[in-house]
Structures are given as structure tokens and as C-alpha cells.
Amino acid sequence: MGIKLILRFIYINFIVAKYGLDRVLLEVRWLGPLRFISYLNPFNWFYRNKWTRAQRVHLALEALGPIFIKFGQILSVRYALLPDDVIEELSKLQDRVPPFASEQSIAIIEAAYEKPITECFQEFDPIPIASASIAQVHKAKLHDDTIVAVKVLRPRVHKVVKEDIQLMYMFASFIQWVWKASRRAKPVEIVEEFEKTIYEELDLIREAANASQLRRNFEGSPELHVPKVYWPYVKHNIMVTEFVHGLPVSDVESFRERGVNLKRLAEMGVIIFFTQVFKHCYFHADLHPGNVMVEVKNPARPSFITVDFGIMGSLSPRDQQYLALNMIAFFNRDYRRVALLHIESGWVSSDTRVEEFESTIRTVCEPVFERPLREISFGKLLAKLFRTAKQFDMEIQPQLLLLQKTLLNVESLGRRLYPDLNLWKTAKPFLEDWVKEQTGVNKLIETVRERMPYWIKQFAEMPDLIYDRLKQDDIKNLQKQQNIHREQKNKSENSALKPFLYGVLVTSLAVTCFSLFASYL
């Protein structure tokens, strides 16, 4: 372990002490005899009742820096792992950090393009327009007068990430070793999942590819605009895209002043999300307010703009179908159907008792449905169901966690625009139409059309396949007959050999007896 890593480890322990997280750790039952240690922490003398448990976790992660903030964001969807109050507090974590020096940005760009900044861009604004944990963004102008946004990875970010993840693995392994009850939560696997996610965000070529795919999916759409990627300028640590203008999605007052139809805007956001999930099978999984803007040049027809494509999600066709059918069953309060769908999809074990699972789902959902639909958060309902399904050994797949997190963001954004948003009323017709499309004649024709070239190719190869199969059968039959013949031959040889062996044995006994008799005489 290097000196810097040791110093970082010491600093983390200082933050743990400062925000009283030692008290949280010592709440573990078998550590009860050691709770006196928390009273030796001077910070607990002064800040004993200043923060709640959840606030202490939130503040500690913010103090530890951007990588731990992102880790907290990952944990904020682990409803089966953390208490409700901690989950709610972690969902407030914002990925905003001070910018790094513009000289460093320029140096990174010049090193990547191997030429001076003046040859890279006609103009380059050294003051960043946005700054986050992984990168910051500058405004620039290409030599053809195109205004662009230049995203630059932070210097040494790979090294910082590597060091912090090493420490996370140390803490996770230690917790798993000393606290057996934590093994079900799989702390090491959570760190592995986070490591994979964060390293994907560090590759701006991957992010540019994500943006290009999403842009193609919404090409010509009046509802969502995705910035164009300028591929000749894209590097692993630099991404250049079209510069987009828009109001922050949280600026509701400006929308009202301009006469924007907020109800339509909120419902349009829900439809865009479900279109990504079910029609495109590819969705933006980081839709917090900082990544969403609204273009309001025409207040009657506003449109959304989205940026930052480091985290994307997708569902398999099987998961898509089961998720849509589950949602419709929820809307109709058909809990038995929900239970059966969970079992059919393989999300819970096939030996699960349907009646017991149905009763559990009803217990969770019925109190929620007694409230007005506009007050119901479907994202939070999904979270409760995931937590409840844990007792039936339901393994929550990462793509479903991403989906649930994104749905929470979409609901939050929608209700910020229009507090009376009824997500259920907006989503149900869309899902019902999608299911009809998937099971209708048109879908069958489309599937046949898509699969026909493959079927034709297979049909052309069918005679050879049949011949090969028959030949293999002939070979197997021949081998079987040879084995039978060999066994019969061995049996006949053995039967012929038996009298000979008996004769030898009798002769040997006779010779032996004669020899003994002769020696006796």
C-alpha cells in the first residue's frame, strides 16, 4: 500500500469519526460490548444530536469526494440493503464538484490532438460551463463556426478511481468477514458492480456511442433532442458534441412566465421514458435535473433536451414483455397475475407458493392504492415490492434496478413540472397498446419478415443437415451393432474357453495329487 493510499485511508477514518459513523457501525448487535468506543470520539460529544443517522451518511459521502458520491448514488437504489431513511437521504446526493484549472483542460486537449489549442478550435472558452466528478465541459467553436461542447475527463481521474475502489474493496471485505449477516447483502459484489459502472463512465468513446444511438432512436422526434456527436474530435478522454440551449427542467417559474403547458410537458416526459424502455429497448439511466433541459422557443410545442450519456440501460425482450404485463396487472390490481408473472419470468423461484406470494403483494399494494392515483409513486411502489420479494429469494437484476432508479427520476421531474401528474393514467394506455402490438398480427408478420432470411438459409442447408444427421445415426447404429457383435463374440469365446480351462484345472489338480502321492511313496 503506497503512502498516498495510507493517507487516504487515514482521511476516510477521520471522516467516519467526524460524522459519527462509528455509532452506526457499533449498532451491530454483537459489537455491543465495544460501544463505549464511540464515547471516546470527541466529535460525538459536540454533534451527538445535530444530524440524523441518514444525514451523517450523506454528509460523510459528500466529504469523501466525487467517487464516494457516485457510490452513494448506486446504493440509493438498493432498497433491500439499506433502511428507508438512509435510502431517501442518499437519493439527494448531487454530483457537483468544483472545476479543475482551465490550464489543465487545455493541456489535456493539446496532448490528445497533438497540436495547439488554437489549431484544435477557432475559439475555446477556458471557463467551464459545467463540472462533475468525472469531467467538466467547456464551450468552443470549430473552424467551420459550429458551436460545440467539449467534455474533458479530470486529470488523474483513473488513478483516483483506482485508489478509492481499492479502499472500498478493503472495507467491503472487512465488513463481510466480521459481520456474517452482511454476506446476504453481498458488499463485495456491490463494489464490483460500482467498479464496472464507473470505468464505463471514464471511457468517453463509449459515452459518445451511447449518445449517437439515442440520437438515432429519436431522429426527427419533436419531443426529445439529443446532441450530435462530432466523431473526428472524440478521444477516450475528450468528447465533442453539438452545443445545446435550453432552460433547466427545474426552472418551473420560467416555464409559467412563458406560458408553457406544464401538464403536457410532464406527460410527454413519461411517454419519452416508456418509449425508450419498451420501443427502443435502450434508455437514458441518469435522468437527474442536471442532465435534462427544455427548449421553449415555441411554448405551445416545447421539447426536452438530454445530455450526459455515461449510464444507459436496456432490457431483454423477455424482461420487456414481463415488465409491461406486470405493470398492467398492477394498474388493474390483479395481484395473482403479478405473482404468476414473477414466477414465469424466473424472477422468483418456480417452487414459490403462488397464494403466499400473492398475499404478500396484496399486503404491500392495497394500502398504496387507497390513496389518490396522482399521489402514488410507481417507482417507490416497485422499490417496496423488490424489498418484499427478497423474502422469496428474488434476485434483483441490475437492469431492473437501473430502470427503477430512472423511473423515480422521471416521476420526480414530472411532478416538479406538474404536481398533479397521474403517471398511471399516462402510462397505462401506452403499455396496453405496446402489449397489443407485441401480440398482434402485425408483430407476427414483422417477426416472420425479420426471420425469413434465416429460415430460408436454414431451409437451403436442410438436405445437408438431414444427410449429416442420418449419417451420424448410421454410424451410431453400426457402432452399436459392432459392440453387440463384439460382446457376443466374447461370450462365445468365453463359453468355448470354459471347458479348456476346466480341463487345465482338472489336469493340474491330477498332476498335483499324483506328485504328492509319489512323494509320499
Q: Is 286 a catalytic residue?
A: yes
Contact call for residues 296 and 309 (beta carbons, < 8 A): no
Q: Which residue type sits at 292? A: V
Q: Measured between alpha carbons, how far is residue 284 from residues 145, 200, 217, 442 in Å?
A: 30, 14, 12, 28
Instruction: Output phi, psi for 137, to 5 deg.
Output: -120, 135
Per-residue pLDDT of the chain (521 residues; tens, 9 = 90+): 577 778 887 788 778 777 776 665 655 554 554 554 555 555 555 555 677 778 888 888 888 877 888 788 777 766 556 677 777 777 777 666 788 899 999 999 999 999 999 999 999 999 999 888 889 999 999 999 999 999 999 998 888 888 888 888 888 887 777 665 555 557 787 788 788 888 888 899 999 999 999 999 999 899 999 999 999 999 999 999 999 989 988 888 999 998 998 988 998 998 999 899 888 889 998 888 888 999 988 888 889 999 999 888 888 888 888 888 888 888 888 889 988 888 887 778 778 888 888 888 888 888 777 666 667 777 777 777 777 776 777 766 666 777 877 888 888 888 888 888 877 778 888 888 887 877 655 555 655 566 667 657 666 666 766 766 666 766 767 677 767 766 666 665 555 544 544 444 444 444 444 443 344 44
Annotated catalytic residue within 95, 286, 308, 319: 286
Q: Which SS3 state, helix, strand or coil, does residue 30 take?
A: helix
Q: Which SS3 state, helix, strand or coil, does residue 283 take?
A: strand
Q: Which SS3 state, helix, strand or coil, does residue 107 take?
A: helix
Grid coordinates in use for 507? 489336469
Q: Which residues pair with 136 in a beta bridge?
A: 131, 152
Pairing between β-strand 247-248 and β-strand 135-141 as defined by DSSP bridges: unpaired
Q: What is the pLDDT of residue 210?
A: 95
Find the largest Cα–Cα distance for the chain: 137
Instruction: Output phi, psi for 370, to 5 deg.
Output: -75, -15
Q: What is the pLDDT of residue 451?
A: 60
Q: Nearest to residue 307, comparing CAs of 419, 225, 421, 377? A: 225
d(CA 455, CA 442): 19
Q: Measured between alpha carbons, how far is residue 203 from residues 176, 264, 388 in Å?
A: 31, 36, 36
Q: Nearest to residue 273, comparing CAs of 223, 228, 211? A: 223
Q: Which residue type sits at 103? A: E
424-448 burial string, b = 16+ CB within 10 Å, else e? bebbbebbeebbeebeeeeeeeeee
Q: What is the pLDDT of residue 88?
A: 75
Pairing between β-strand 224-225 and β-strand 303-306 as defined by DSSP bridges: parallel
Burial of 330 (0-12, 13-18, 19+ CB in 10 A): buried
Model's pTM, two decimal places?
0.73
Q: What is the pLDDT of residue 513?
A: 47
Contact call for residues 164 and 174 (beta carbons, < 8 A): no
Q: What is the pLDDT of residue 48?
A: 57
Grid coordinates in use for 15? 471522516
Q: What is the pLDDT of residue 293?
A: 92
Strand stretches in 108-185, DSSP E: 123-124, 130-131, 135-141, 147-153
Q: Nearest to residue 204, comparing CAs of 138, 150, 123? A: 150
